[in-house]
Amino acid sequence: MKVVAPYFEILEDLDDQSLAVRIEVCGRICYKSEDKITPESAEPFIRNIIKHGHNSVTEMAVLTLKILYDTESMAIQFFNLMPKFLLVDRVEKKELLVTGSIRAFRELYKSNSTVKMVKAITEYLNSCHPLFYEDLIPARGLLKQEGVLVEKVPLETVESLSAELLAKHRHVAVLFVVNRAITHEIVRHRPVSFLQESQRYCRYSQDKFGNEVTFIKPMFFEKGTDEYSLWEKAMQDTEEIYLKLLGTSSPQAARTVLPNSCKTELITFANLLEWLHIFKLRTSKGAEPSMREVMIPLLHRFQEKYPTIFNGIELNV
């Protein structure tokens, strides 16, 4: 067995990647199949996840659009849809700022394919990213809509928005490598997208996992104490039973003995407004100490990057 300290990584590098690469890199965390990534692997990977309805993977790429329109009735028709999982702001008299994930934009079209503004958004996205629409839209594409202009807002422009708009439209992904009790708490936050290492797909007896189970070092017990020895013994016994069960059963059956201390990886992707809410709850004195162990240093990183949004949080240590 292996024991590692918990950690996090802000996935800033993914912001420079294409939407397809970003989706693949995040999606492969579930299967821990990052070793299968090649310069050509993103497209077939995405086709496959869409075919199998693993749609949450397509939430891992968001984009912001500027929409200029001629007539107010178009905007009213769009607002009347009460578009789900999209962030919409009217920034000028006839200009909207709309942010959403690939999944949200796909489903917007699926449910409202006759609405002019939706058609304009989809026509634009399909022309830039046909991969995400090939199962929904014929190869000849959609007609351009008169009176609506859609264009992508670069990330640098999103970063320079006012604090209020920045908080809603800027999304940040964080990889947590923590124990299962902590991820179970983080996934209670709802306006968020998640992908997690799957104990159903991962067989820890394989070489790529070192033929062993990895556990997160508990912050409650000091190494060298009786408590730590008891914890360590429980993990060793559990690992032995898990590996034995794998001899005759599947990972999904064997995992039933794995404990909260098991290491897992979780990508958490949310806008800054939701991160603010998460930090308020998860760094407070009432939060679980192992949650605070990762959330407090993570908050400090967010405070450095976005002081106007995060500097108001006071920590009671």
Ligand X SMILES: Cc1cc2nc3c(=O)[nH]c(=O)nc-3n(C[C@H](O)[C@H](O)[C@H](O)COP(=O)(O)OP(=O)(O)OC[C@H]3O[C@@H](n4cnc5c(N)ncnc54)[C@H](O)[C@@H]3O)c2cc1C
Please tell me whether residue 285 binds ligand X under the rule CB under 6 A.
Answer: no
Provide, rounded to whole angstroms, the least separation between the CB of residue 190 and ligand X: 4
Q: Which of residues 191-210 bind ligand X (CB under 6 A)?
A: 191
Please tell me whether residue 181 binds ligand X under the rule CB under 6 A.
Answer: no
Of the ranges 86-94, 214-222, 242-250, 281-289, which one interacts with ligand X (CB under 6 A)?
A: 281-289
Provide, rounded to whole angstroms, the least separation between the CB of residue 165 and ligand X: 18
Q: Which is nearer to ligand X, 189 or 217 (CB)?
A: 189
Instruction: Give the separation between CA 151 and CA 154, rounded to whole angstroms.
Output: 9
Q: Which is nearer to ligand X, 99 or 145 (CB)?
A: 99
Provide, rounded to whole angstroms, the least separation between the CB of residue 241 and ligand X: 29
CA distances from 313 to 211, 284, 298 (A): 43, 10, 13
Q: Which is nearer to ligand X, 130 or 289 (CB)?
A: 289
240 to 279: interface string for ligand X, x by CB under 6 A: -------------------------------------x--
Please tell me whether residue 188 binds ligand X under the rule CB under 6 A.
Answer: yes
Query: Residue from 32, 94, 189, 217 that binds ligand X (CB under 6 A)?
Result: 189
Instruction: Give the separation between CA 48 and CA 139, rounded to whole angstroms.
Output: 19
Q: How many chain residues bind ligand X (CB under 6 A)? A: 8
Q: Which is nearer to ligand X, 77 or 284 (CB)?
A: 284
Provide, rounded to whole angstroms, the least separation between the CB of residue 120 and ligand X: 29
Please tell me whether residue 280 binds ligand X under the rule CB under 6 A.
Answer: no
Q: Which of residues 286-315 bind ligand X (CB under 6 A)?
A: 286-287
Provide, rounded to whole angstroms, the least separation between the CB of residue 188 and ligand X: 4
Provide, rounded to whole angstroms, the least separation between the CB of residue 273 and ligand X: 9
Of the ranges 133-141, 184-192, 195-203, 253-261, which one interacts with ligand X (CB under 6 A)?
A: 184-192
CA distances from 299 to 66, 79, 291, 296, 311 (A): 30, 34, 12, 5, 9
Provide, rounded to whole angstroms, the least separation between the CB of residue 195 and ligand X: 17
CA-nearest of 45, 62, 254, 273 to 155 is: 62
Binding site for ligand X (CB under 6 A): 188-191, 277, 281, 286-287
